[in-house]
């Protein structure tokens, strides 16, 4: 029966601690105070029952019952008191009594004297163990408050033995109410400091310990939760579960139990890495000084912490080669980046295949159903891992619908990353003789799916497609696939990232090398559309990119049998050789020279269209962020318009180009002054008018 005395647990706990004081007088007075308290509670009870009571007789009776005070063994008095107060202790009183008992563990023996410290510590231990042994069931509903109280008190308890006593409630409560204790520990502030970490390890280090199997299952369940609730609020539960798992892995006796669910834990953690990229968690997640070392930890980034747990799990499971391989390739950093997460996961899976990880078969069969579950992040992570496992011999046992079928479905997925991963999977499957023909038949669909995809992903996908292109007979190869590949690559010539530009221009040239006669109209149009971008990008001043442009332009010229001026292959700045620009533009834009670029199949009206196209492409480059490209494009337009004799083209020049020159060049007068003829006067007049 709970008492109507709210502070009963706190008062009783502090008086009990004083029973164990080395000073006998203090111990005696504390026991007498408990006797008075007990008498008051009994009087309250009898008043409710409307019973007549002699207060003095009741007090004397209770004094004999709870006493006499035993200075040699005060713990006997403590046990008697706790046993007799049971009728008056409800959940809140039990919680207060436990937390009050922890107060006896604060401070070192030096502060209170060795004897005093040891006696108080003993009194705390007896109180904690007896309360939890007799009234453990009453603490169920207040377990979160008890765990929070223990966590707070540990910061003030430094002596090792005293900390062991303070952690007793964790293991004792977990032995009966493991789920509730784990849920409470998941609420510990993150990142875990030494106190929170010790509470997690207490679950399995001290007797009675909880069932490790059940404990790991609970953590796995929490790791499968999304860190964002349905209402859009962030949740620390998955991150806290990962932190708890990391602490349990530091206990050797737990490692062998972890292996049972290692594949599930690994995949759940990898998916959590994806979820935590860029995620802002509640305010409780903040760096704090460690209680033991008194040092300020570095800024806490949730995704980095989850990656650390993945690495710890691998090392504990004996995958040190895989972890080192990922470290050498920068895979851990990639895994924690939004645009590169799938690459980091792929590197890990590839390393595990390379080093023949024993658990790969279990992971493979576990992944098959996971590919269709969860949201986009869940599917991307699962697919990135699954694709690399397609290299395993055991894949032959899987029905084709779960290997080839899944990859074919991915080609039409709305997420570009899924398309690229599916292409990677098909390329791996094409290594098997029985799958080669089927995969090669899908090549047009693979290439078509890369349109309007980010440049980095395009480079990644094309790199994988090389093996299929090499494996196909050029005579049987449909040239339209090559043309589509060129169409995919061309827009990325002006990508802001140098590595993307460099790769796309280089691959473009290699694809042109694979083209074979007869030339089709689609081929010619595509290569003609490549001329201006290559000429302008050559002027950006980047040596590596410029060299690739020259090589690719030469390959296009060889295939089309063009007779481009030698200056077209020069990477010298045009503003230092204006005559070179004039020669190039005369070749490209003039009516008389356009037929050299075209086959007899094309009609005369196509000449004008190509001139429009050349100038239009240059116009697009005037919007580029790189000043060198803007400058060279304006020069090309000015000189090109000067060389244009068609009235319609000159009208287009007057309407479209003049404003661009004035808007995008620092000194249009200086630029135009190098171009003799009527256009010089036209643009000067426009500049003055504005």
Q: Most distant CA pair in the chain: distance in Å?
A: 128
The predicted pLDDT at position 114 comes to 61
Residue 59 lies in a domain: yes
pLDDT for residue 44: 86
- CA R_g for the chain: 39
Question: Alpha-carbon distance 338 to 238, whole Å?
Answer: 19
> Which domain-ending residue is among 149, 166, 183?
166
State yes or no: pLDDT of 296 exceeds 70. no
Tell me the average pLDDT of the chain.
85
d(CA 389, CA 352): 9
Mean pLDDT over 100-120 rounds to 73
Are the C-beta atoms of residues 665 and 674 closer than 8 Å to each other?
no
Q: Residue 637: CB partners within 8 Å, gap ≥ 6? A: 615, 618, 619, 622, 653, 657, 660, 661
Residue count (the chain): 690
Give the whole-angstrom CA distance, residue 461 versus residue 358: 29
Once rounded to an integer, what is the mean pLDDT over residues 223-232? 83
- How many whole angstroms separate alpha carbon 101 and alpha carbon 20? 12
Model confidence pLDDT, tens digit, residues 151-189: 999 999 989 999 999 999 999 999 999 999 999 999 999
Say whether pLDDT at 53 is over 80.
no
CA–CA gap between residue 400 and residue 386 (Å, rounded) = 14
Query: For the segment 410-423, what is each residue's pLDDT rounded down to a tens digit?
Result: 999 999 999 999 99
540 assigned to some structural domain: no
State the burial class of residue 581 (Cβ atoms within 10 Å of its Cβ: 0-12, 13-18, 19+): buried
Give pTM, 2 decimals.
0.85
CA dist., res. 465 & res. 446, Å (int): 9
**Lookup result for tokens 């030494």:** 194
Q: With respect to residue 86, please indicate whether it lies within any of the assigned structural domains.
A: yes
What's phi and psi for 627, nearest 5 deg? -60, -40
Buried b (16+ CB within 10 A) or exposed e, 165-193: bbbbbbbbbbbebbebbbbbbbebbbbbb
623 is a domain residue: yes
Q: 82 is in which domain, residue-wise? A: 1-166
Q: Is residue 625 part of a domain?
A: yes
* Residue 295 falls inside a structural domain: no
Q: 674 pLDDT band (50/70/90 cuts)?
A: very low
Looking at residue 350, what is its pLDDT?
A: 97
Q: Residue 659: what pLDDT? A: 55
Cβ 428 vs Cβ 403: under 8 Å: no
**Residues 10, 12, 14, 17, Cα dihedral to 10°:** -140
How far from 498 is each of 334, 428, 456, 493, 545, CA to CA, in Å? 19, 29, 11, 9, 8
| Distance separating alpha carbons of residues 549 and 579, to the nearest angstrom | 21
Q: Is the pLDDT of residue 467 over 90?
A: no
Number of domains in the chain: 2
Distance CA 486, CA 222 (A): 48
Please state, in angstroms and rounded to a whole number, the distance separating the CA atoms of residues 363 and 662.
62
Q: Is residue 630 part of a domain?
A: yes
Last residue of a domain, one of 166, 192, 227: 166
Which of residues 166, 188, 211 is at a domain's end? 166
Residue 229 pLDDT? 72
Of 429, 432, 457, give the one whose Cα is nearest residue 443: 429
CB atoms under 10 Å from CB of 521, counted, come to: 12
Distances in Å between the Cα of 482 and the Cα atoms of 118, 456, 523 are 84, 20, 9
Higher pLDDT, 378 or 627: 378
**What is the tally of helices (H) and strands (E) in the chain?**
38, 0
pLDDT of residue 644: 62
247: in domain? no
The 10 Å CB-count burial string (b at 16+, else e) for 133-149 is eebbebbeebbbbbbbb
């Amino acid at each position: 029966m709970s008492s109507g005395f709210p502070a009963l647990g706190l008062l009783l706990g502090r008086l009990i601690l004083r029973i164990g004081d080395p000073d006998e007088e203090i111990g005696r007075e504390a026991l007498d105070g408990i006797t008075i308290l007990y008498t008051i509670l009994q009087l309250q009870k009898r008043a409710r029952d409307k019973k007549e009571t002699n207060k003095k007789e009741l007090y004397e009776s209770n004094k004999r019952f709870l006493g006499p005070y035993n200075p040699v063994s005060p713990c006997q008095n403590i046990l008697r008191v706790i046993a007799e107060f049971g009728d008056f202790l409800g959940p809140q009183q039990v919680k207060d009594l436990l937390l009050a008992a922890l107060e006896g563990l604060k401070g070192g023996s030096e502060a209170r004297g060795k004897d005093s410290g040891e006696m108080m510590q003993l009194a705390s231990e007896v109180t904690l163990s007896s309360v939890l042994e007799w009234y453990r069931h009453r603490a169920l509903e207040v377990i979160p408050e008890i765990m929070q109280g223990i966590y707070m008190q540990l910061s003030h308890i430094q002596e090792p033995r005293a900390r062991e006593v303070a952690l007793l409630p964790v293991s004792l409560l977990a032995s009966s109410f493991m789920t509730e204790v784990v849920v409470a520990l998941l609420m510990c502030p993150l990142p875990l400091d030494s106190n929170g970490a010790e509470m997690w390890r207490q679950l399995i280090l001290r007797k009675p310990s909880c069932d490790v199997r059940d404990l790991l299952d609970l953590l796995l369940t929490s790791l499968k939760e999304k860190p964002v609730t349905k209402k859009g609020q962030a949740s620390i539960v998955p991150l806290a579960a990962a932190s708890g798992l990391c602490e349990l892995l530091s206990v050797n006796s737990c490692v062998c139990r972890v292996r049972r669910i290692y594949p599930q834990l690994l995949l759940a953690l990898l998916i959590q890495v994806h979820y935590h990229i860029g995620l802002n968690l509640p305010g409780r997640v903040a760096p704090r000084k460690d209680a033991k070392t008194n040092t300020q930890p570095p800024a806490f980034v949730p995704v980095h912490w989850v990656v650390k747990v993945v690495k710890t799990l691998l090392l504990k499971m004996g995958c040190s080669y895989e972890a080192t391989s990922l470290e050498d390739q920068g895979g851990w950093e990639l895994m924690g980046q939004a645009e590169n997460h799938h690459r980091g996961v792929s590197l890990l899976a590839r390393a595990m295949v390379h080093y023949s990880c024993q658990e790969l078969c279990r992971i493979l069969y576990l992944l098959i159903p996971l590919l269709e579950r969860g949201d986009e992040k869940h599917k991307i992570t699962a697919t990135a891992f699954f694709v690399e496992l397609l290299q395993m011999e055991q894949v032959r046992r899987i029905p084709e619908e779960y290997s080839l079928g899944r990859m074919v479905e991915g080609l039409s997925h709305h997420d570009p990353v899924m398309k690229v991963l599916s292409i990677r999977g098909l390329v791996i499957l094409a290594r098997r003789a029985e799958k080669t023909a089927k995969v090669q038949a899908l090549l047009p669909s693979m290439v078509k799916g890369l349109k309007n995809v980010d440049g980095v992903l395009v480079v990644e996908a094309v790199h994988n497609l090389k093996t299929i292109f090499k494996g196909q007979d050029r005579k049987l190869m449909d040239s339209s696939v090559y043309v589509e590949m060129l169409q995919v690559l061309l827009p990325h010539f002006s990508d802001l990232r140098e590595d993307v530009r460099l790769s796309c221009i280089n691959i473009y040239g290699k694809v042109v090398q694979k083209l074979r006669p007869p030339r089709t109209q689609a081929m010619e149009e595509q290569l003609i559309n490549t001329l201006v971008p290559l000429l302008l990008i050559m002027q950006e001043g980047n040596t590596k990119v410029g060299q690739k442009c020259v090589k690719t332009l030469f390959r296009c010229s060889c295939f089309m049998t063009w007779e481009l001026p030698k200056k077209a292959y020069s990477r010298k700045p045009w503003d230092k050789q204006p005559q070179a620009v004039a020669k190039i533009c005369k070749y490209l834009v003039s009516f008389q020279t356009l037929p050299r670029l075209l086959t007899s199949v094309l009609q005369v009206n196509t000449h004008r269209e190509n001139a429009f196209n050349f100038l239009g492409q240059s116009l697009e480059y005037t919007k580029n962020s790189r000043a060198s490209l803007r400058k060279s494009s304006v020069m090309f337009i000015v000189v090109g318009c000067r060389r244009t004799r068609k009235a319609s083209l000159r009208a287009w020049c007057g309407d479209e180009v003049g404003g661009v020159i004035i808007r995008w060049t620092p000194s249009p007068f200086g630029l135009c002054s190098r171009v003799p003829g009527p256009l010089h006067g036209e643009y000067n007049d426009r500049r003055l008018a504005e």
